[in-house]
Amino acid sequence: MKETDIIVVGGGSAGSAMTGRLAEAGLSVTLIEAGKSDRHIRSRIPALTSAIVQNPAYDWCYQVEPDPSLGGRADIWPAGRMLGGGSALNGMMFIRGHRWDYDEWARQGAAGWDYESVLPYFRRMEDNERGADAWRGTGGPIAVSEGRARYPITDQWIAAAQAAGIPRSSDLNGESAEGVDYVQVSQRRGTRCSAARGYLHERRGDKTPTILLEAQLLRILIEDGRAVGILYRQDGVEKQLRARHGVVMSAGAMNTPRLLMLSGIGPADHLRAHGIAVVCDRPGVGGNLQDHVGTHVVNEVDAPTLNSDAQGLRGAWQVLRYALARRGALTTAIGHAQAFVRSRPDLPAPNLQISFAAFAFDFDERGRLMLRKTPSVSTLVGLMRPSHRGRISLRSADPLDPPKIAHRQLGNDDDIDQIVEGIGIARAILNETPIGTHILSELRPGAALTEAEQLRAYVRMASIPLYHPVGTAKMGRADDPDAVVDADLAVIGVEGLWVADASVMPTLPAGNTNATAIMIGDKGADHVLRRIGQRAGKCI
């Protein structure tokens, strides 16, 4: 039976960062990843990502239970099934969130995760094209760049947002996380910079981690209340691997709680119902599930957009442009500009993310997304602090069964009202000069929908998950019955076991969550190293 210093389960955004930092510190690290390598042209070239999203070879394609708040619709949530996880197939918008979000984590019991405490890790993880200052960093593993798919209509949208009363932020990842600015992207010279690329493929240091691909964890091995290794399946063979210091779970907000429960850590009654011996009764495992929710305003315009660049000779030119200069439509992220705003003056932080893209999609006859054939733009109105808390649970004790995901995207009427307020803000921007002169029509919701109740009905019908699931192994105080890990990310009640991924977030940060997940892996490595050092000191 083989042995390593420490095992990291899941090579996604946080797991790659955790693995890279632990190896950099000199530990023998074995990373097991259920998926494939991310060294794939459709992951590396930004605009080709749509070919691997909802492709079961690269995406877990989790089926969610019917959502009564969306008329019983049962969505499919993507999750990266390859090294880099979500960072290898997401929309590449790099945003950290608001200071208030992290201070709220600390208020909820995540001591040492307030904004001032996480800021040094955001700075050390990034290589920011805008340079370094008190808030931003350079020289780190994750390249953060300006978008290279630039259209004049994006500049006009930013100017119109200012005309509508939204202040210009010089850097939404910097001193002021409110206002309007261009989107920064997780790219290096026009190619995706996933966490796997930054922390593993282009890593520094002499100690190289062992990476086991297409290796499915079956359960964590726990002896006398301590995690000592794992049982996994690779190439159709069950294998064991022991770890001198323990195991870090970084399988993501949907898979980490499932694997904890399969290992006997979770709500005792639920485990017993599936015939699983209870190792540690933690009711919070799988609970506290949160996701951002939003809907689109779509307009037809008379100005060039990515839609027009995807057609005919213009499309061929974009391929050549990418090959020669790594610029143009093939570098596009899912958004080009964004604003963080408060729709109500008494809120402590922005409650809405208004994201603008110089392109828009339609649905084909089979319900699949396809680029519109005429010049169009889309504005996503995203609710940053939805009210509902869902749950991940087991379907069975079979370790190969996917999790059961029960969640309501729209938790209450106030969630709906806030999104309606956001639609009003989006429309106000689009009516302002200079972008307003280019608007030909509103395709969705449609100019005829003006009354509040009409817009509420549209929100109920057209809202979508933003695929930012978090919270299912919540970080908090040891006396919090809903907490799963403490402020060092150590599982409460089990020695030698940590969780480092989006599942530990007590609440959603504002904006896309990938940068925060990577930060958790990067910062979490220091917490793991400190715990290992403390244990070694006690043994001397």
- Are 136 and 123 spatial neighbours (Cβ–Cβ below 8 Å)? yes
Residue 538 is predicted with a pLDDT of 47
Which 8-state DSSP code applies to residue 47?
G
36 three-class SS: strand
Longest dimension (CA), the chain: 75
How far is residue 307's CA from residue 312's CA, in Å, rounded to a whole number?
A: 11
Angstrom CA distances, 487 to 284, 498, 523, stand at 15, 10, 11
Phi, psi of 5, deg, nearest 5: -65, -50
| Contact of 18 with 257, CB cutoff 8 Å | no
pLDDT, residue 364, reads: 67
The whole-number pLDDT of residue 1 equals: 58
Name residue, tokens 């925060």. Answer: 516
Measuring CA to CA, which residue among 206, 212, 195 is closest to residue 17?
A: 195
Does residue 195 contact residue 17 with C-beta atoms inside 8 Å?
yes
Tell me, what DSSP letter sits at residue 310? T
Give the tokens for residue 67.
Answer: 């959502």
Half-sphere exposure (Cβ direction) of 411: Cα atoms closer than 13 Å? 18
Mean pLDDT by 10-residue block, N- to C-terminus, for the chain (540 residues)?
A: 92 98 96 96 94 94 97 96 97 98 98 98 98 98 97 98 98 97 98 98 86 98 98 97 98 98 98 98 98 98 95 93 96 98 98 98 72 96 98 97 98 98 98 98 97 98 97 97 98 98 98 98 98 65
Specify whether 98 is catalytic. no
Tokens in use for 171?
A: 């850097």
- The catalytically annotated residue of 245, 292, 438, 468 is 468
* Nearest C-alpha neighbor of 33 from the set 88, 99, 103: 88
33 neighbors 501 (Cβ within 8 angstroms) = no
Give CA–CA dist 287/14, Å, rounded.
Answer: 20
